[in-house]
Every structure is written in C-alpha cells, then in structure tokens.
Amino acid sequence: MASNHHRNLLLPVDNPTLPVWQTNPHPLHDHRSTEELPETCDVLIIGAGFAGVATVYNLVNGEDIGGTSELSVVILEARGACSGATGRNGGHVRPDHFGTIPTYAKRFGLKAAEEFAEYEIANFHAIKKLVRQQKIDCDLVVTRTCTAFTNQRTLDKYKPNYEMLAGLPYMDDFQFVIGEAAESISGVKGALACSSYTAASVFPYKFIMHLLDSALNTGHVNLQTHTPVIGISKAPDGTLVVKTERGFIHTKKVIHANNGYVAGLLPEYKHSIIPCKGICSHITVPEEKVAPLLTNSYIIATTDNGMDYLIPRPDGSIIVGGASHMFRADKHQWYNNTDDSILIEAVKDYYDGYMQRTFQGWEDSGAKVKELWTGVMGYSYDSLPHVGDVPERLNQMILAGFNGHGMPVIWLAAKGVAEMIRKGTAFEDVGLPKIMKTTMDRILAAKNGPEGGDIL
C-alpha cells in the first residue's frame, strides 16, 4: 500500500473519507495486472482518475483516431483506481456557461470563449454517445441544469455576463427567467431568477471503472494501484525512468494525469495547479416518506460568491456540494491542502436540513445526510486546464488542472492527447481549444503573479 514517506512530494493520503460512489468498490479498485512492475512500456500514465483512464482508453481503444493500437501502456495509481477527485465528485456533467466562459471572453475575446463553450458542449455529447454505444451502466441522466439565484447581488453580477454571451449560437438552448415565476419553475425557495440549459448527471466511479475495465481487456494495459510515482529521471539512451517504491519502469513517454498532485513531480507547476479541497454529501429520504421529484440538476446561488451544486440520483437520493462561501476565508482548511481524510470543519454541518430549507415541498421529507466526504481538486491559477507537452521536458505530457469542473472538459482533452501520442499530431491539430495548451508563458505568469490568481 502507498506510504507517506514522501509527503514532501505531494502524494495523496492513504485514508481518504469514503464517498457514496465508492461504498461498493469495483473488482478493479485495488487491482494489479501483474505481481511485479513491468520493466518497460511505451507510455506510462500517472493517475487513474478521469484524465488518466480516458487517455489510456483512447490510446488502446480509440478506433476513430487511427484504429486499435499496439502500444504497451502502464498506469500507476497512488491509491485505489478512481479514488481521487473523479471518484468523489458531484457527478454533474454541466458545461459551465457562466462561470469561466465570461472570464475567458474578457481575457481572450468572445471567439475564444465561444470555442471553449462549444468544446464543453461537445464533451457532453461525446460522453452521452460513448455511454450509449458502449452500454455503460453509470446512471447517466440527461437533464436541464437550473441555476437558481436567491441572492440579488449575485444576480446583478450574472446579468451582464448573460447579456455579453446572449448572441452566441449555443445560447439558443438557454432560458433565463427573472421575477416571480422563478420560484415555481425552479422549486427553490426565494428564487429571484433562474436559468436553464441541457446537461447530465452520472455515477462517475462506475463510468470510469467501465472504461478502465474495457482498456485492460485489450491486453495492452498494465494497471498498478497503490503504487505512487516518486521520481522521474532520464536514462542515457534518452528514455525516461519512473521511480516507485516497488521498483523502476523504463518508458518512452510519461503522461502526468495526477491533477492536484502534479507539482510533486513537476515543481514548475507549483503556482499553476494548486491542490484545493472541496466537500460533498449524499442525502437520502427515509423509505416511509415522500419527497417531491426533482427533474433538474442545480446550481444554487444563495449568498455573495456562494454556490452549491446538486444532482438528483435515479434512486431518489441527492448529491449536493459546494458551500465554499462558508470556508473560503479560512485558507488553511482548503487551499494548498491535500488531506481528503478529514472534513472541512466550517461546513461539516451545512448539509443537515439542506433540502428542507432550500426546496419547496421538502419540509417534511425527513431528508438526511447519509455520507459526507472531501476531495482534492487541481485548481488552475488562470482557470484553464494545462494540456499538452510539458515545456522543456522531452517526452512528458500533462493533462491536469481541471478545477471543480473536469467532467465536461476531460474526455476530449484525453482523446486529443492520445491522438498526439499515436499519430505524432501537434496540439494545434487535434481540435482542442488553443487556450488550454500548457505553455511556459502560463507557468511563468502564475509564478510571477499575485498569489492564487483566479483561485483566491
């Protein structure tokens, strides 16, 4: 099992809180394809979350990027498979049209922002298609995602963003209602306005474990769980030597897909991708009670800079997280913090009674928190993920920095990275938004800019 002897390396802790998704571990959770580590491979992936697994899947199964591949791939995971952010998230596959997109529009222009918004929508459709084609049992539900505003100041901040983007074609799917009807349309008590568009919810752990299983079944992938990478060096023949406590692996290529922990092995990303904690809960309704059906997923903007996210599950239970406004000021509880073994003190009681106080008709539902957990995200200094060749490190690539928002971003990025590896295609030619390319300029801007950038 992974030890913490290398804590200065920014490794995941051994005893994380248990999210509802992982209460029935998949047979591959602690899997090792072979007893000993293989000595060599063509491509070595660090991290078995969405980014790592989607890259592996596309490397060995990606029919539409050049047929099946003969590459030998090793995936090293510090803990159990999918035990990081992906296995402990909110299950919301929601293009974020009003969080980061207006920031990108102001920084890079409307065209670049539109490209990113369309990219997130394309991810949503690609996931939907993948789940249907591969018959993945992962509770995918296509829904409307409703943003309900109960706070006037947040609504005032949001309206100009809406107006800025209103002419873009993807906004045809969008509805924005201000005034009295908002409360009955959204079902959220005290809603002053609400907006909605198409999104999905998913059981993230089941989704990823299915992809992992399918990749392993090709016979080209060796998975080694509980095997943290603790160093990377160059061999005289130009190959890379990856160090673990269980031995060394020689490889032609390394993919850093370890998100919040990336700076442990790539210290130049220390200011670019910062591990930040979030909290999430699972709320159930007792069998003898009935609660109103929620047909939307939600973002609920209750206070200044305060947002909760929520998805109803097909079994009638609820996943809800967020509440960062409650702990933001107390930096040590979440910022630059990788300890997902403990809850965030300031919000550990926040979800008690949440449904009763937030939704109409839930007052007597008896809804209660069943599981509560934390997770570590890779927050990006400039809000953008880092994807592509690591500057000045030959044969190393990165796919990390997905904030609290990887579900509608990672799939096509991983597919792009797999195409770059399989066909030698340049980043610019795999159809990814240009602004997510990792560059030395971005790394230096984070290093030389004010602490925390967009995060703080």
The tokens for 123 are 């991810």
Site string for ligand FAD, 296-315 (x = CB under 6 A): -------------x------
Question: Which residues between 337 and 376 bind ligand FAD (CB under 6 A)?
Answer: 375
Question: Judged by CB under 6 A, which of 102, 275, 312, 406 binds ligand FAD?
Answer: 406
Helix (H/G/I), strand (E/B), else coil: 226: coil
Cβ distance to ligand FAD smaller for residue 85 or 165: 85
Site string for ligand FAD, 204-233 (x = CB under 6 A): ------------------------xx----
Question: Judged by CB under 6 A, which of 41, 49, 253, 350 binds ligand FAD?
Answer: 49
Strand bridging mode 73-76 / 40-46: parallel
How many residues are there in the chain? 456
**Bridge partners, 250 (sequence order):** 40, 241
Question: Judged by CB under 6 A, which of 20, 240, 407, 432 binds ligand FAD?
Answer: 407
The verdict on 58 binding ligand FAD (CB under 6 A) reads no
Half-sphere exposure (CA, 13 Å, Cβ side) for 294? 28
Q: What torsion, rounded to 10 degrees, do the Cα atoms 131, 132, 137, 138 define?
A: 40
Q: C-beta of 401: minimal distance to ligand FAD in Å? A: 8
Helix (H/G/I), strand (E/B), else coil: 176: strand
Tokens 């992938």 belong to which residue?
221
Question: Which residues between 424 and 453 bind ligand FAD (CB under 6 A)?
Answer: none
| CB contact at 8 A, 176 and 192 | no
Cβ distance to ligand FAD smaller for residue 183 or 340: 340
Question: Judged by CB under 6 A, which of 20, 59, 78, 398 binds ligand FAD?
Answer: 78
Q: C-beta of 126: minimal distance to ligand FAD in Å? A: 14
Q: Residue 185 is which amino acid?
A: I
Site string for ligand FAD, 18-47 (x = CB under 6 A): ----------------------------xx
The verdict on 402 binding ligand FAD (CB under 6 A) reads yes
The verdict on 50 binding ligand FAD (CB under 6 A) reads yes
The verdict on 11 binding ligand FAD (CB under 6 A) reads yes
Q: C-beta of 359: minimal distance to ligand FAD in Å? A: 19
Those residues with Cβ within 8 angstroms of residue 117's Cβ, 6 or more apart along the chain or in another chain? 95, 97, 101, 165, 168, 170
| CB contact at 8 A, 58 and 418 | yes
Helix (H/G/I), strand (E/B), else coil: 54: helix
Question: Judged by CB under 6 A, which of 26, 29, 92, 415 binds ligand FAD?
Answer: 92
Q: Which stretch binds ligand FAD (CB under 6 A): 71-79, 136-144, 167-175, 186-194?
A: 71-79
The verdict on 89 binding ligand FAD (CB under 6 A) reads yes
| CB contact at 8 A, 446 and 271 | yes
Question: Judged by CB under 6 A, which of 62, 187, 275, 404 binds ligand FAD?
Answer: 404
164 phi/psi in degrees, rounded to 5: -65, -35
Half-sphere exposure (CA, 13 Å, Cβ side) for 454? 19
The verdict on 400 binding ligand FAD (CB under 6 A) reads yes
Strand bridging mode 193-201 / 141-149: antiparallel
Question: Judged by CB under 6 A, which of 85, 200, 254, 435 binds ligand FAD?
Answer: 85
Q: C-beta of 319: minimal distance to ligand FAD in Å? A: 8
The number of beta carbons lying within 10 Å of the beta carbon of residue 385 is: 28
- For the chain, how many helices (H) and strands (E)? 9, 17
Q: C-beta of 3: minimal distance to ligand FAD in Å? A: 12
Q: Which stretch binds ligand FAD (CB under 6 A): 99-107, 126-134, 257-265, 428-436?
A: 257-265
The verdict on 242 binding ligand FAD (CB under 6 A) reads no
The verdict on 105 binding ligand FAD (CB under 6 A) reads no
In whole angstroms, what is the distance from residue 35 CA to residue 224 CA?
A: 9
Tokens 């706070």 belong to which residue?
151
DSSP element (H, E) containing 248: strand 247-256
Distances in Å between the Cα of 407 and the Cα atoms of 17, 31, 35, 169, 199 are 21, 24, 32, 22, 11
Question: Judged by CB under 6 A, which of 62, 90, 312, 388 binds ligand FAD?
Answer: 90
Question: What are the residues binding ligand FAD (CB under 6 A)?
Answer: 11-12, 46-52, 76-79, 83-86, 88-92, 228-229, 257-259, 261, 264, 278, 280, 309, 321, 375, 377, 400, 402, 404-408, 410
